[in-house]
Structure 1
Amino acid sequence: MLEAKLAEAQTLKKLLEAIKELVTDANFQCGEEGITLQAMDNSHVALVSVELERAGFAKYRCDRPIPLGVNLGSLTKILKCAKDDDVCTLKAADDADTLSLTYEAKNADRISDYELKLMDIDTDTLGIPDTEYDCCVTMESAEFARIVRDLSVLGESVKVDVSKDGVRFTTEGESANGNVLLKQAEGARSKFKRAGKEKGKKSKVKKEDDGEDEEDAEPESEEEGESSKKKKKKTKVKKEEGASDGDVEMVEDDDDEEAKPDDDEDDDEDEDTTSKKRKKGSSKSSKPSKRAKRSDDDDDDDEHEAGVTIDMNQAVNLTFSLKYLVNFSKSTSLSRRVQLMMSADVPLLVAYKFAQGKIHYYLAPKIGDE
């Protein structure tokens, strides 16, 4: 029996919207580790591979491997009946001919049940070999979608040229040509360096600020630190109390309470002074944690804002169909980043990773004038 619960139905909705135009009918292979789908388009030019990991489900149970043959168009229609934040539960018996979908509202005031008739789809699972690609381009998925969408208006094919200068997308149409160059994210790297320098600068400024009480911050030795504290205490008592010489000698003694047990006003002032010092010290000790946290957030922001990164063993120049790349880019709603992996005479891998799993597209390159 299969029972898989997703915290939000929108994950499945976005996934189906991304692949429904490439694949009409497909088998969802349900197993112990999660749910997978692998299918080719009708022309056998593109392959899509989907993995929904077990950990991505709020609840998952699969007693034995079950293939669920579904028409993706029909499944998409049923998923449109669910709100994006509905809890979606998929259920199927071992030998069932239907797939049950249950949508439950967050406040549990609405529960909807639907059933989808399953199909017998005879397909062979393709073994995708592990490939070491010559280059890997990581970029914003929205930027990739915009580029292929814009260039598809001009031509049918795009030449992808990856070199040390960056990645260039070029298309040639009957009436117009176009190309887009995305450079390696040197700005992001220099930003990381600047952030490191700023961190050092901040720590230095803090040290100088804390240097107002040099004896408290970094005493050279315990004896010097103790003597400096006594000197500081002595000076402050003189200023506040206007004490006589005899009083100063008593202040220098560490046993103030034994020397002046009946002087309540002096004790109160000493306690106030001590409490102020403690408050001041506690506020100083809290500053580094706040600054460190802010610096960590800055690092996260820098990573999120990083543009194009290229890992390259050698330059690659390949041509692909824009129609398929436009279809691949519909997975932008699932992931903010996309990876393009290429090697000569090897299908292009377009990889998206999201919270519940990943989706990979494979596209054969165009050869010659084809």
Structure 2
Amino acid sequence: MKMVFFDARVWRYLISAISKVIEEGVFIVDPDEGLTFRAMDPSHVIMLDMKFPRDSFEEFDVEQRAELGVNLEDVAKVLRRAGKEDRLEISADENSISFTFIGKGYRRFTLPLLDITAEQLPEPQLEFKARVKVMSDVYRDTIKDVELIGDVIRFVASSEEFKVSSTSELGEAEIIYTRESGSLIELEAEDTQQASYTLEYFSDLSGASRVADMITIHFSTDMPALVEHELPQGARFSFLIAPRVE
């Protein structure tokens, strides 16, 4: 099988972020569905979901479904060598997976496949009462701001504003976005919704937002949050995180 993606850096930042939360995982390659990845962290606090439709690839030569078990930390190390103009070719056989950077020449790295099976995780069926869409740089700056203070991130959304905060012995960080400020692309909320989450996961995965256009956060009071990243070429990355209930 062989798949070619137009920008290796998309994979570089995405896999680097994922590898901070999950050490090993399985890429599922399907002739119709493209390449997908879904897994939970060892503590079962967060579920990651990555989807690259077949149409997102320049080339997608896959004849049959395959499960490719990989050490994500090793893959992340390889992908860090991606350059600004590099395309990425992913190929695999029964025993190994190769990542080739196509730019000023061909640079190929081959890693062994792991004998692991993909987790059977169903599609979450949740209804959210708040939905906030922001540009990816706004989201990333927000995470950096609250990191200065605490280890818990709190979302509060109403029909008029979206507030992100963190509190600790050091003090309090509070960031407020309103429709008038222009920082919110979309804001929908039934009444006032508020929930808290472990900030470490947002920090670890914030690197994925570097290659996203927009970030959409769905949540409800004291319920899980779904954070969606819109990636180039119709690809998507999201994570579903359990709340911290005091």
- TM-score, L = length of structure 2: 0.92
Residue type of the partner of 1:115?
A: T
| Secondary structure of the corresponding residue to residue 36 of structure 2 | strand
The within-5 A match list for 1:262-301 is: none
Cα distance change, pair 365–97 in 1 and its aligned pair in 2 (3 A): same
Residue aligning to 1:366 = 244
Cα distance change, pair 311–62 in 1 and its aligned pair in 2 (3 A): same
Report sequence identity in percent: 22
Once the two structures are superposed, residues 231-273 of structure 1 have per-residue CA deviations (whole angstroms, 9 ceiling, x without a partner) of xxxxxxxxxxxxxxxxxxxxxxxxxxxxxxxxxxxxxxxxxxx
Residue type of the partner of 1:97?
A: N
Flag structure 1 segments of 5+ consecutive residues without an equivalent.
189-305
* Correspondence 1:335 to 2:212: yes
Between Structure 1 and Structure 2, whose CA radius of gyration is higher? 1
Contact 1:328-1:350 at 8 Å conserved across structures:
no
* Correspondence 1:11 to 2:6: no
> d(CA) in 1 for partners of 2:186 and 2:87?
37
Give how far 1:168 is off: 1.2
Aligned-CA RMSD value = 1.8
* Correspondence 1:181 to 2:180: no
> d(CA) in 2 for partners of 1:332 and 1:157?
19
1:101 to 80, 99, 102: 99
Once the two structures are superposed, residues 34-92 of structure 1 have per-residue CA deviations (whole angstroms, 9 ceiling, x without a partner) of 10011112221111100011111110021111011101111122223342322321112
* Correspondence 1:314 to 2:191: yes
Cα distance change, pair 84–68 in 1 and its aligned pair in 2 (3 A): farther
The within-5 A match list for 1:220-239 is: none
Contact 2:28-2:67 at 8 Å conserved across structures:
yes
| Secondary structure of the corresponding residue to residue 184 of structure 2 | coil
Residue aligning to 1:285 = none
Residue aligning to 1:62 = 62
User: Which is strand-richer, 1 or 2?
Assistant: 2
2:231 to 333, 350, 354: 354
Residue type of the partner of 1:10?
A: R
Flag structure 2 segments of 5+ consecutive residues without an equivalent.
none
> d(CA) in 2 for partners of 1:174 and 1:81?
40
Cα distance change, pair 42–139 in 1 and its aligned pair in 2 (3 A): same
> d(CA) in 2 for partners of 1:176 and 1:329?
23
Residue aligning to 2:162 = 167
The within-5 A match list for 1:65-214 is: 65-93=65-93, 96-105=94-103, 110-183=105-178, 185-186=179-180
Contact 1:182-1:308 at 8 Å conserved across structures:
no
Contact 2:27-2:68 at 8 Å conserved across structures:
yes
